[in-house]
């Protein structure tokens, strides 16, 4: 991995640490104003919460300013140095218009720190370098540009701070080779007690964010956008993926992307997602689960509330791999896993031009339905409620507006749908595919 430089040397080059809260004016050497620090937002889950505790940070007592080097020079070493210097009850302020990030940042050491981002942090489009030097994770062969972890961390962009993954180079390269390793824009790894707010996330090569082995985090006011300007689409650009994490709230955000708006990956528990506007996505998804043979996956205690979903493949989605290994695509294969989906609620959902308002499948990744039926999933799904959904589906499956297909009645229990008013654009009577379901609990026109 390319070295970030000596932290000690970079520390010596930083401005003096000063007492600071929001509102401190920072000047350049020539006396001109670079910017003013922003106050840290006070965030609470609203209107719903998980019932668990979240972070209560003390007022930070000192500030490290980081001025961009300019001319395309790598700002990663001095940002890393500032985070070391102000770690422990300090604030790092990134107020310059543009920072170039040309080397990976391992920020899993943070403790009692705020990061005030008001400029743009832009990763270089060096696809060869980043494939070799990004942080690697075993789950779904994923990687990231940088990883953020620790305790008592607040990162805020005040509605203007931007993180840009230079995704176009990756979209074009992926069209040539689907086995390239595309980095996730941000990985929150081993992060416990944090708020992430007011950021603009742009042009991620793959998923925008993964929350892995983390807990007690609030995301608020995140704006995601990143389409392709070539014929090669931006693929697999999930807004959030949660994995082996607990007590996460995602709220009040706007997402324009090309895959799941939010996806609860294996071992996601105590999740609230509320107040989102999602455009162009694959819905808010439980899963995919059961990808790894005989591995136990759990998603439990999830509430999805007050969502607007437009121009999407799905709104409420639960996706489970079948009981046999299969290939969804060249770079995504699996099946045969076990586990449980329990206590999931989708409530108050408005849709427009969405293929399926509800999709529940235990045959994800397997186009051969005969084979899927021969090797059904054994992953159990129970205590799921879909309620209060309205709007118009797309033309794709008209007049079918939803599908709920379980491997067998033995593995799906207490799946409820009520007050669902989704109509096809043709004006025909809406239909749902309902297989191996207790239809007495579904207030749906099952075909």
- Which residues carry out catalysis? 282
- What's the chain look like in SS3? CCCCCCHHHHHHHCCCCECCCCCCEEECCCCCEEEECCCCCCCCCCCCCCCCCCCCCCCCCEEEECCCCCCCCECHHHHHHHHHHCCCCEEEEECCCEEEECCCEEEEEEEEEEEEECCEEEECCCHHHHHHHCEEECHHHEEECEEEEEEEEEEECCCCCEEECCCHHHHHHHHHCCCCCCEECEEEEEEEEEEEECCEEECCCCCCEEEECCEEEEEECCEEECCCCCCCCCCCCCCEEEECEEEEEEEEEEEECCCCCEEECCCEEEEEEEEEEEECCCCEEEEEECCCCCCEEEEEEEEEEEEEEEEEEEEEEEEECCCCCEEEECCEEECCCEEEEEEEEEEEEEEEEEEEEEEEECCCCCCCHHHHHHCCCCCEEEEEEEEEEEEEECCCCCCEEEEEECCCHHHEEEEEEEEEEEECCCCCCCEEEEECCCHHHECCCEC
Residues 6+ apart with CB under 8 A from 292: 334, 336, 337
Rounded-to-integer distance, Cα 432 and Cα 441, Å? 14
Q: How far apart are the first and last CA of the chain?
A: 56
CA 64 – CA 11 distance, rounded (Å) = 10
What is the rounded distance in angstroms from the CA atom of residue 152 to the CA atom of residue 103? 25
Question: How many CB atoms neighbour CB 150 within 10 A?
Answer: 20
For strands 332-334 and 326-329, give the pairing. Answer: antiparallel
Q: Can you say whether residue 197 is alpha, beta or left, with left for phi > 0 and alpha for psi between -120 and 50 degrees?
A: beta
The DSSP bridge pattern shows strands 162-164 and 200-202 to be parallel
């Amino acid at each position: 991995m390319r070295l970030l430089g000596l932290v000690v040397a970079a520390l010596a080059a930083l401005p003096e640490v000063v007492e600071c809260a929001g509102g401190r004016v920072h000047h350049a050497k020539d006396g001109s104003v670079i910017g003013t620090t922003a106050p840290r937002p006070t965030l609470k889950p609203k209107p719903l919460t998980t019932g668990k505790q979240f972070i209560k940070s003390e007022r930070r007592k000192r500030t490290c300013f980081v001025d961009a080097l300019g001319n395309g020079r790598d700002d990663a070493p001095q940002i890393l140095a500032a985070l070391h210097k102000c770690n422990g009850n300090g604030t790092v302020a990134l107020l310059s218009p543009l920072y170039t990030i040309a080397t990976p940042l391992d920020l899993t050491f943070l403790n009692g720190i705020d990061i005030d981002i008001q400029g743009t942090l832009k990763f270089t489009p060096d696809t060869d370098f980043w494939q070799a030097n990004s942080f690697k994770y075993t789950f779904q062969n994923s990687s990231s540009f940088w990883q953020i972890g620790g305790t008592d961390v607040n990162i805020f962009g005040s509605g203007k701070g931007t993180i840009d993954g230079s995704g176009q180079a990756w979209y074009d390269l992926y069209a040539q080779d689907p086995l390239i390793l595309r980095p996730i824009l941000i990985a929150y790894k081993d992060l416990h007690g944090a708020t992430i707010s007011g950021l603009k996330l742009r042009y991620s090569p793959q998923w925008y964010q993964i929350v892995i082995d983390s807990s007690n985090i609030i995301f608020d006011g995140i704006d995601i956008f990143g389409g392709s300007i070539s014929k090669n689409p931006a693929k697999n650009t999930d807004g959030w993926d949660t994995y082996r994490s607990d007590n996460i709230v995602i709220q009040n955000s706007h997402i324009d992307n090309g895959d799941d708006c939010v996806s609860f990956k294996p071992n996601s528990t105590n999740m609230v997602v509320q107040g989102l506007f999602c455009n162009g996505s694959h819905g808010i998804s439980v899963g995919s689960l059961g990808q790894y043979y005989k591995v136990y996956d759990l998603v439990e205690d999830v509430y999805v509330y007050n969502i607007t979903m437009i121009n999407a493949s799905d709104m409420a989605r639960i996706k489970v791999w079948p009981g046999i290994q299969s290939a969804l695509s060249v770079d995504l294969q699996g099946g045969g896993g076990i586990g449980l989906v329990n206590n999931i609620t989708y409530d108050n959902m408005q849709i427009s031009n969405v293929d399926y308002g509800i999709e529940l499948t235990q045959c994800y990744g397997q186009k051969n339905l005969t084979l899927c039926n021969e090797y059904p999933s054994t992953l159990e799904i129970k205590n799921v409620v879909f309620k209060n959904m309205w709007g118009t589906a797309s033309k794709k499956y008209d007049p079918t507006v939803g599908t709920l297909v379980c491997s067998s009645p033995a593995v799906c229990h207490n799946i409820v749908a009520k007050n669902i008013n989704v109509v096809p654009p043709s004006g025909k009577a809406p239909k749902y595919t309902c297989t191996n379901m207790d239809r007495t609990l579904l207030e749906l026109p099952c075909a």
